[in-house]
């Protein structure tokens, strides 16, 4: 079973159409239609496309962040429709070194499906090592999914606010956004007081692959207290999952996600914010 990462050569060698499901989750915050268009132009053979905005996120409102969780039953029904069932190996990929794919990885883990892995290096690694792409869009094979949200794996804004003095918050956004020096997406700059910054790109080598478990463990233990739960956040609850995946790959599993993240936090001007690198 692959439960954190899988390499392109492993996916090529081990894929079994009868018991594996592959998802393409390419997504772009500046062009919501681009991911599907790229999927249709060429994808890993047998992969199905899942849209970040309409499938992996729920209904937007003035009170929630940019990528709230979808309805639980709707998500479970979608997974069942694509054949995700107990014992099925799921592989998720994107073209951003896991920045988008980690969201579905976390959602499936949070729903109780442990046999899910992110393709290390994503589509670029597949193209470099295997090369084969397909434009065929397969009909999914439905199954009965045995999934249920584990509410311990995520926090609401109310929970973060109530526990702010005790939480160990790690923000996956860039240093510039965290410090409040730049904010190209959300209306307010800065970070939640007490949070520390670990841009998700720090989990990667220059080649765009995840660092080894040993290196990741050493780096994360220099930043966090592993005896206390680590709550991951970012701009909208997507790249936060990349940091959580990196910790799990390093054997550090005392983690959860603040799904609303910064984009939900700043919906209310009365919530505290901090500026600067600390």
Query: Over the chain, what is the mean pLDDT?
Result: 95
Q: What is the pLDDT of residues 88-135, one digit of tens each?
A: 999 999 999 999 999 999 999 999 999 999 999 999 999 999 989 999
What is the number of domains present in the chain?
A: 2
Q: Does 110 or 141 have the greater pLDDT score?
A: 110
Residue 118 belongs to what domain range?
Answer: 5-129
241 shares a domain with 157: yes
Q: What is the pLDDT of residues 145-168, one digit of tens each?
A: 789 999 999 999 999 999 999 999
49 shares a domain with 14: yes
Distance CA 23, CA 94 (A): 9
The pLDDT assigned to 27 comes to 97
DSSP 170-237: EE-S-HHHHHTS--SSSSS-SB-TT-EE--GGGGB-TTSSBPPHHHHHHHHHTTS-TTSPEEEE-SSS
27 shares a domain with 63: yes
Residue 271 within any structural domain of the chain? no
Residue 141 within any structural domain of the chain? no
pLDDT exceeds 90 at position 248: yes
pLDDT exceeds 90 at position 29: no
Six-digit token string for 74: 């709707």
Q: From edge to edge, which strands make up the β-sheet containing 230-233?
A: 154-155, 255-258, 230-233, 168-171, 196-197
Residue 251 within any structural domain of the chain? yes
157 shares a domain with 246: yes
CATH number for the domain that contains residue 232:
3.40.250.10
Distance CA 73, CA 214 (A): 38
| β 47-49/255-258 pair status | unpaired
Residue 275 within any structural domain of the chain? no
225 shares a domain with 169: yes
Residue 146 within any structural domain of the chain? no
The reported pTM is: 0.96
Q: What is the pLDDT of residues 178-214, one digit of tens each?
A: 999 999 989 899 999 999 999 999 999 999 999 999 9
Provide the annotated active-site residues.
Answer: 234
Residue 272 within any structural domain of the chain? no
pLDDT band for position 140 (50/70/90)?
Answer: confident
121 shares a domain with 227: no
108 shares a domain with 16: yes
221 shares a domain with 183: yes
CB atoms within 10 A of CB 19: 12
90 shares a domain with 57: yes
Distance CA 260, CA 119 (A): 26
Six-digit token string for 60: 């937007």
Distance CA 165, CA 184 (A): 28
120 shares a domain with 89: yes
92 shares a domain with 159: no
CB 266 within 8 A of CB 273: yes
Q: Where does a domain end: 71, 94, 129? A: 129
pLDDT band for position 60 (50/70/90)?
Answer: confident
Residue 68 within any structural domain of the chain? yes
Residue 46 within any structural domain of the chain? yes
The pLDDT assigned to 278 comes to 76
125 shares a domain with 172: no
């Amino acid at each position: 079973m692959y439960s954190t990462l899988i390499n392109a050569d492993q996916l090529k060698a081990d894929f079994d159409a009868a018991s594996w499901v592959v998802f393409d989750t390419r997504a772009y915050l500046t062009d919501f239609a681009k991911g599907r268009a790229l999927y249709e132009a060429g994808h890993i053979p047998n992969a199905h496309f899942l849209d970040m905005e309409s499938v992996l996120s729920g209904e937007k409102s003035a009170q929630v962040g940019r990528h709230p969780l979808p309805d639980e039953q709707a998500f479970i029904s979608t997974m069942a429709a694509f054949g995700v069932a107990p014992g099925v190996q799921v592989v998720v990929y994107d073209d951003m070194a896991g920045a988008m794919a980690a969201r579905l990885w976390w959602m499936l883990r949070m729903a109780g499906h442990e046999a899910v892995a992110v393709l290390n290096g994503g589509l670029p690694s597949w193209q470099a090592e295997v090369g084969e792409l397909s434009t065929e869009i397969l009909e999914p094979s439905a199954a009965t999914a045995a999934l249920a949200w584990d509410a311990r794996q995520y926090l609401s804004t109310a929970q973060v606010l109530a526990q702010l003095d005790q939480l160990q918050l790690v923000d996956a956004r860039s240093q510039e956004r965290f410090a409040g020096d730049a904010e190209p997406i959300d209306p307010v700059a800065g970070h939640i007081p007490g949070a520390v910054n670990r841009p998700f790109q720090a989990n990667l080598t220059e080649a765009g692959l995840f660092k080894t478990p040993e290196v990741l463990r050493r780096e994360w233990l220099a930043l966090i207290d592993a005896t206390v739960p680590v709550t991951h956040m970012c701009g909208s609850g997507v790249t936060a999952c990349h940091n959580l995946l990196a910790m799990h790959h390093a054997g550090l599993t005392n983690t959860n996600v603040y799904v609303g993240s910064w984009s939900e936090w700043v919906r209310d001007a009365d919530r505290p914010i901090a500026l600067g690198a600390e």
